[in-house]
Chains A and B, each alone.
Chain A
Amino acid sequence: MKQAYETSATLAGYNFAFLDEQTKRMLRRAILKAVAIPGYQVPFGSREMPLPYGWGTGGMQVTAAVIGAKDVLKVIDQGADDTTNAVSIRRFFVRMTNVATTEKTREATLIQTRHRVPETPLSEGQILVYQVPIPEPLRWLEPRETETRKMHALSEYGVMHVKLYEDIAQHGHISTAYDYPVLVNGRYLMRCSPIPKFDTPKLHMNPALQLFGAGREKRIYAVPPYTEVKPLDFEDHPFEIERWPEDCALCGAHDSFLDEVILDDKGGRMFVCSDTDYCGERREAGHTGRMSAPYKAEAAE
């Protein structure tokens, strides 16, 4: 029985999702092993992508191995759907796969992200792909890969506790504000890519599948749904997320990650949601902040 697929609209001369099939098989095998060993960094043969390392090549290769014609793709960069990195990666996948795209977290089946986890809770069946610059949590403490590999094998993570302790000794609190080290399923120390520590608790017991791709460092790792992800901390210095002195100036949210925007050189500033979809959805629902115009007026411009 023949099945017909709509692939004709993608760019001529390229395979579906850019990568060749053998590369996709290699990536897919690595992804399955990553899911089977939560938090462990599986090495893979990273390919050159048509943009430089550091722009999300690892996340793109994971997305290319996973994406299908029926997916609805959302791409965010620091929470925003409309920044350069997000726009160019989204456009790349539209040209290479002709998939539907969305800015709404709820509608997406596949979300590629740089440095944020969406504020809207994810659901079962969704896949979140993180772009990872440095996958090895111990790298700045131990530069040798042979050694960090052994440390993971032996579950020898004392050095990270010492680093956090030194933070407390010097600053009075743990000063790591992003890329906070976590222990996955009680076994592997993992770097959750440079997401703010505000997002770290969202990884814990998340119903969605979370995949991490590091292109330059050639590593893929994963957190399956409903997996324990515990930030490292101390009994007397428990893990805490950051707080802001104000609510979002546009939608009034007090439960989302806020960016500070400098308005003038006289100390004027505002805080706005980093997640543009979340902020937009709230304003659409009638929420207002300190500096927002009514939503309708903005839409009518």
Chain B
Amino acid sequence: MVRINVNGEERQVDVPEDMPLLWVLRDELNMTGTKFGCGIAQCGACTVHVDGTPTRACQTPVGMLTPDSKITTIEGVKGKAAQAVQAAWQKLDVVQCGYCQSGQIMSAVALLTDNQNPTDQDIDAAMDGNVCRCATYVRIRAAIKDAAQTMRA
């Protein structure tokens, strides 16, 4: 049994310790908002927060987490930055296929939690690990700036 804390709830799962958090979330806990895109931490579709840090769930063996690690997924993300980011995404109709957007949003929320006035270079650095094959990057950048403005106001 592995004990983890997801979105503030303690969960017990009967899985091998090398199973990545991604598959624990998706297959064991039926939390499918976190997506499988590459499995090797190259696309960011599986981005969650572990103690506030954006983390690729596909390369995080569940056994490496402690019951004290606070895991936040798209289903549970909240707070000022999350609100501003999701509102900006909706206002600008960022999404196309939408499959990568859980991960994009989790990365953007982490960025804006730390930095409410990101430059284009800051955005590049924070978001380059999140691939969008629809290339919604123009709107992601605009939405991050919009959300940052909301947070500063």
The judgment on whether A and B are partners is no
Binding site for A on B (CB under 8 A): none
